Amino acid sequence: MERSTHPLDTSPAGDDRQDAVVEAAEEAVLEPLADFPRIDLRTGVEPWDKRRAAGKTLRLELPHAAHAALEIGTDRPDPVALIEKAHEGRQSHLIPLRVARMASSSFAFLRGAAQVMAWDLAQGPRGAIQVVMNGDAHISNFGLFGSPQGDVVLDLNDFDEVTVGPWEWDLKRLCASIEVAARDAGAAVRERRQAVLSAVSGYQHTMDDLAPRGSLDVWQRAARADDLEFTGIEIDTHSQAVVRKAVEKARRKNNKNLLDRVGERRTDGGWRFREEPPILARVNEATRQGVTSGLEHYAETLPRERRFMLSRYHVVDVAHRVVGVGSVGARAYVALLCGNSDQDVLFLQVKEAVRPAHAPYLRGMPEPYASHEGERVIYGQRLLQAVGDPLLGWTTIDGRPFYVRQMKNMKGEIPVARMVGQSLSFFTHAYGALLAKAHARTGDAAAIAGYCGHDGRADLREALADWAHAYGDQNEADYQAFRTAIASGRLHAAADPHL
């Protein structure tokens, strides 16, 4: 009988077998993404239990305990210098605002210092199993948004740093963000550790649950906010109340309500944006025309039926809008479009896509998705989200890559960064589970589950909790260095009206 050619086939013997497993696992996620003219529907894959066993063998090369140590060498770059390098190409007049937002707390610093953590992760252990990774899976990049059917779902919702890389790098960023945010919230050491353990447990439980399931089942799994169920944990009463409140608030975030909040009537009766500089600022006519032309080209990246729907709208105003922490300084516009009447409005966010933080250390997305940063972001988002914005697309404006999405489609936030106690443990478990679901869509869930082990194995959870605590200390030191750079005049921090 011929040996199967599945990437995680374990039939070679000894060291050759290990080499084959590792080398093929590194390539497995890239192969189906490549721009081949057709897919192969004639060759099957290995049974999930065999792939799980192959994943288990990878522990021999990279034991769970190896993830516990934070390997910071003497050659580590100055973290402030890495942040300064990340400012290159951004709008210089907004850099002081970005600095101010990062300086507001150690967690805000972590959010803006993705390039620093990318360097640190690249120096540590690197597993063989690749996925399309979010690249910035901290707790504030999970949240609520509306599905095309009008349901409110909870999932990853920011993909600026998406690329191909080791699944554990995403999980480590999630764990570090839990540790740092919980420190900011005043949580005790034991409580912070429990929250990190809960996140890894959520990842471990969910990957174990997904390993034997069919790919169609994995791809269709979405976490509806009104019915949150995660393997290995039950939602508590207080967390249910938090979700209900967040969902009610998210449902009020629609195009009509946003128009009332950010729009104003012109003297001729039409709508325009109400300025709130520097957060929402008017653009000149050349920029307005450039963004409008960019949206016309963006329409070509939509499915034909969505393009037809969009053709019934027209742009009535464009403004520049500052968003986030790490994104401040990147060009981000919001376009107001009207359709059937001046009450039939659509808001589109047009955001510059920059090189991802992990790009210097990973091969990244394959062609053609690597040639346009906006396409990289949108393609990655479509791969990682169970349900998504039907108006996702990309374009080019003045030679710069952008991606486009709806600005407010029932978007909302769960205030995990301010939580303590049982609710913190529930939501960190939930976020670990959501990350596992995202990774299972492009990675090999059975192999990852084999590496992670069943729930009875606590060594991976304990190792990542140790690592997160150590990274919390390192982030605090980097944060203090950042604040020192501000105090010395090396960096300038502007007043932020939204701090």
C-alpha dist (Å) from residue 77 to 117, 124, 311, 322: 11, 15, 49, 29
Query: Does pLDDT of 449 surpass 80?
Result: yes
Instruction: Please say whether the beta carbons of 278 and 97 come within 8 A.
Output: yes
**Which of 276-280, 455-459, 484-488 comes out lowest in average pLDDT?**
455-459
CA distance linking residue 462 with residue 446, whole number of Å: 22
pLDDT digits (tens, 9 = 90+) for 104-156: 999 999 999 999 999 999 999 999 999 999 999 999 999 999 988 888 999 99
Residue 10: per-residue pLDDT:
35
Cα-based angle 216, 309, 288 (whole degrees, multiple of 5): 115
pLDDT band at 180 (very low <50, low <70, confident <90, very high): very high
Instruction: Compute the chain's Rg from CA coordinates.
Output: 23
Helix (H) or strand (E) holding 155: strand 152-156
Number of H-type helices and E-type strands within the chain: 17, 12
CA distance linking residue 72 with residue 75, whole number of Å: 8
Residue 56: per-residue pLDDT:
96
What are the two backbone dihedrals, phi and then psi, of residue 394, each rounded to the nearest 5 degrees? -145, 165
Residue 36: per-residue pLDDT:
47
Q: Is 0.75 topped by the overall pTM?
A: yes
Residue 227: per-residue pLDDT:
85
Give the burial class of 447: count Cβ atoms within 10 A of its Cβ; 0-12 exposed, 13-18 middle, 19 or more buried: buried
pLDDT digits (tens, 9 = 90+) for 398-444: 999 999 999 877 889 999 988 888 999 999 999 999 999 999 999 99
Query: Does pLDDT of 29 surpass 90?
Result: no
Mean pLDDT within 269-283:
92
Provide DSSP, 323-378.
Answer: -SSTTBTB-EEEEEEE-SSTTSEEEEEEEE----TTGGGS--SPTTTTS-HHHHHH
CA atoms within 13 A on the CB side of 281: 13
The SS3 of residue 129 is coil
pLDDT digits (tens, 9 = 90+) for 207-237: 999 999 999 999 988 888 888 889 889 999 9
CA distance linking residue 463 with residue 459, whole number of Å: 6
Residue 24: per-residue pLDDT:
52
Helix (H) or strand (E) holding 369: none
CA distance linking residue 143 with residue 149, whole number of Å: 18
The more confidently predicted of residues 25 and 157 is 157
The SS3 of residue 223 is coil
Give the burial class of 192: count Cβ atoms within 10 A of its Cβ; 0-12 exposed, 13-18 middle, 19 or more buried: buried
What does the CA dihedral 224, 228, 229, 233 come to, rounded to 10 degrees? 150
Helix (H) or strand (E) holding 429: helix 421-442
Question: What sign has the CA pseudo-torsion 51, 467, 200, 27?
Answer: negative
Neighbours of 4 (CB within 10 A): 15
Residue in this structure with the two tokens 């912070």, named with its chain if needed = 192
pLDDT band at 1 (very low <50, low <70, confident <90, very high): very low
**Which of 2-16, 93-107, 417-431 comes out lowest in average pLDDT?**
2-16
